[in-house]
Structure 1
Amino acid sequence: MHASSPMPSMGVLKLAGSGDRFQLSRVAPSPEAGRFVLHYWIVRWNIPEPFTHRQEVVPNPCVNLVVEPGRTLIYGAAKAKYAKELTGQGCVFGVKFRPGGFYPFFGKPMDSLAERPIPVSNVFPAAGAALEADLLTMNDDNRMAAYMENIIVQRLPKPDDNVELIHQIIEQVKADHGLTKVDELCERFFIHKRKLQRLFEQYVGVSPKWIIRLYRLQNAAELIDRGETHDWLRLSMDLGYHDQAHFIKEFKAVIGKTPEEYMRQPAGGQASHA
C-alpha cells in the first residue's frame, strides 16, 4: 500500500490549478481489499479566512465512506454534481469503493443509500467512536489508509464475480467513447438487457444508461480541464453525440455549465468524494 502518483481527476472538476490551498491524494489498496475498494483518498486544505475553496465534483457510480469531524458516514452513488466550500484548515479521509464493490459488504440494494447516508458502524462495527480522532490526526497518507484497511478487512466478503463484471462493463464504457446504447453493452458482454439493468440496480444503484451518459460528459470535462479542446462540434462528435446542441444540453445538465462557461471558470476559489 503506497501513496499514488498523480492520477486523472476522476470527476473532481478543475482539480489542476487548485494550488497548495487544496490538496487531494490517493492511496491504492492491497490486492485483497482491491477486489472491492478502488482507492483511499485524503483531502487537506489550508485556506486563510475569509477566503474559501470551492471544489466541484461530478456524479459518480461509487459508494464513499467519508471520515470528517462530526459527519463520518457512508454515502451512496452521487447522481448530481455537488460542491463544498471550505475555509480554515482541515482534513477529510475517504474510501472510494469500486462500482458495485460495496454491495457485498452491505447486502441490500444500493438504491437504499440514495436518499440518506448511513453510519459507518452499521457496516463496519470495528469503526468505533474514536475513528475520527485516531484517523484525522495522522499526518501520513499511508498510515491513514492502513488504519482504515485494517477495519475493512475484518469484514471482507468473499470475491464476487458480479463486482468484476460491473468493473469490466464500466471500463468498457470509459474506454469507448462511441458506445452510446445499453444494447451495445448487452451484445459485447452477452447479457440480457433486463438482467444487466437489475444487476446495476442491485449492486450500483444507477442504471447502465446513466453510466454511459456520465462517463461521456466526465471525459469531456477532463479534456477541457487539460486545455485539449475548444472545438465543441468536434468534441461532441468524438464523444458519440449526433449533434453539438445535444452535447451542450447534456453537459450543462450534469456539469452545471455549458462547455464554454466551464472552460472560462477558474480552478478552485472556493471538496469531495474523490
Structure 2
Amino acid sequence: MTELTDGRGILYPTKLPSFHRERAEEGIDAWIRWFWVPRWELPPGRTSRQRVLPFPASNLVVQSDGVKLHGPTTGTSHQDLRGRGWAVGASLRPAGIASLHADPHGIKNSEIAFDAPELHTTVTAAMGKGKDTNGLEHAIVAFTEWAAERFQAADANAMLANEMENLISSDRTIVRVDQVATHLGISIRAVQRLARRYVGLPPLAIIRRYRLQEAALRLRQDPSLNIAHVSAELGYADHAHLAADFRKVLGLAPSAYRSDSRDI
C-alpha cells in the first residue's frame, strides 16, 4: 500500500511539520483503511496552511478539543496550523462509515461532532506522552481497541462497497463506471447506489479523485515527466481533460501545480 509512504493526497508534503500513516491491523481493516497522525509545533505568530486532495472517504478524527466525523469532500481542503497540536484520524472504509452514519452523502463537505468520550480520553492521554513514537503508537492502539468494540459487523453490501473501493484505488485502468460494474458483476445503477450509500460521492467522482491524486504525485515527484504522457497513462482522453480536472478540483493547471511544488 504505497499510499502509506508516498504522501499521496498531500499536495505540498514538504510544508507538513510531521505526518505518519499506519495501516489498520487485521480485525478492524474492514472498517478502517489506515490511521494518520500529524503533529506540529510552530513559533508564535506563524501559520502553516496544509492543503490536501483528500481520499474519497470519510474520516473519524480525534483532537484535543473533541472527536469529529468528517464527511467526504468534493475538492481540496485545507487546515491552518498554529502553535502546538496534533490529530489522530482514521480513514474509514465504506463499511466503516456505514457503521457510524446512515448517510455519508448528507455530511459531504462538512464535519459533525461525534460522541465518543472514551475514545477521546484514551487517545488524548496517549498523545500527551510527548513527541516520542511511543505516544503515537499508544494512541493508535487505543483507537484500534475502541474500533474493535464500536463497529458493527459489515453486511454483504458493505463488503461489496469495500471491494469497489479496492478496485478503483488499485487499478489505474479503471476510468469509467461501467468498468467497475463489469468487475463487480452488478449494474451501473447498483454501483451508483453503493457509492452514494457507502462513500457519499458519485462513482465517477471517486474514480477521478484517485486518478488526480496519482497525477499530482507523479508530477510532483518527477519534474521531467511529460504531462500528456501522465494523462494517457491514467486513462484521460488527452492532456486537456486532465488539465480541466486539475483546474476544477485543485484550482490550477497541472504545470502550475508542478511549478508550485518545486518552489516550496
CA displacement at 1:213 relative to structure 2: 1.2
Counterpart code for 1:259 = P
Give the Å deviation of 1:82: 1.0
Moved more, 62-71 or 245-254: 62-71
Superposed displacement of residue 90, structure 1: 1.6
Structure with a larger share of its residues in helix: 2
Partner of 2:159: 164
CA pair 196-31 structure 1, distance change in 2 beyond 3 A: same
Identity across matched positions, percent: 25
Figure out how many residues of one structure are paired with residues of the other and give that number: 259
Q: Is the 8 A contact 1:42 1:91 kept in 2?
A: yes
Question: Superposition pairs for residues 144-223 of structure 1, below 5 Å?
Answer: 144-223=139-218
Question: One-letter code of the match for 1:74?
Answer: L
Q: Cα offset for 1:245?
A: 1.4
SS of the equivalent of 1:102 reads helix
Q: Deviations over 1:163-191 (max 9, x none)?
A: 33223323322333332211121112110
Note if 1:11 corresponds to 2:5. no
Matches of 1:102 and 1:173, distance apart in 2? 18
Moved more, 186-195 or 148-157: 148-157
> 100, 108, 119: which one pairs with 1:114?
108
Distance 2:108 2:208 in 1: 19
Return the TM-score normalized by structure 2.
Answer: 0.87
- After superposition, give the CA deviation of every residue in 1:53-95 in whole Å (9 maximum; x if it has no partner): 2221113221111122335311111222011121322211111
| Structure 1 residues 241 and 28: CA distance shift in structure 2, 3 A | closer
| 1:1-274 equivalence runs, <5 A | 7-15=5-13, 17-18=14-15, 22-70=17-65, 72-106=67-101, 108-114=102-108, 116-121=110-115, 124=116, 126-127=118-119, 130=121, 133-139=124-130, 140-227=135-222, 229-266=224-261
Give, in whole Å, the separation in 2 of the partners of 1:244 and 1:6. Answer: 28
8 Å Cα contact 1:63-1:74 kept in structure 2? yes
Question: Would the aligned equivalents of 2:4 and 2:22 in 1 still touch at CA under 8 Å?
Answer: no
**Would the alpha carbon gap of residues 229 and 157 (structure 1) be closer, same or farther in structure 2, given more than 3 Å must change?**
farther
Question: Are the structure 2 counterparts of residues 115 and 244 from structure 1 closer, same or farther at C-alpha, using a change threshold of 3 Å?
Answer: closer
**What RMSD over aligned residues (CA atoms) do the two structures have, in Å?**
2.5
Kept in 2: contact 1:109–1:205 (CA 8 A): yes
Shift of 1:229: 4.4
Shift of 1:268: 9.8
| Partner Cα distance (2:124, 2:263) in 1 | 28
Deviations 1:100-142 (A, max 9, x none): 4220233x12112225422221xx46446x4674344133111
TM-score by length of 1: 0.84
Question: Are the structure 2 counterparts of residues 147 and 200 from structure 1 closer, same or farther at C-alpha, using a change threshold of 3 Å?
Answer: same
Q: Give the CA deviation at 1:256.
A: 2.2
Look up the equivalent residue of 2:243 and give its one-letter code: I
Alignment check: 8 A CA contact 1:55 1:268 kept = no
Shift of 1:146: 1.2
- What are the Cα deviations for residues 191-249 of structure 1, in whole angstroms up to 9, with x where unaligned? 01111111111111011111111111111001012126441111111111112112111
Native 8 Å contact 1:138 1:144 kept in 2: no
Secondary structure class of the residue paired with 1:101:
helix
Higher relative contact order (CA 8 A, sep 6+): 1
Give the distance between the partners of 1:248 and 1:91, measured in 2 at CA: 34
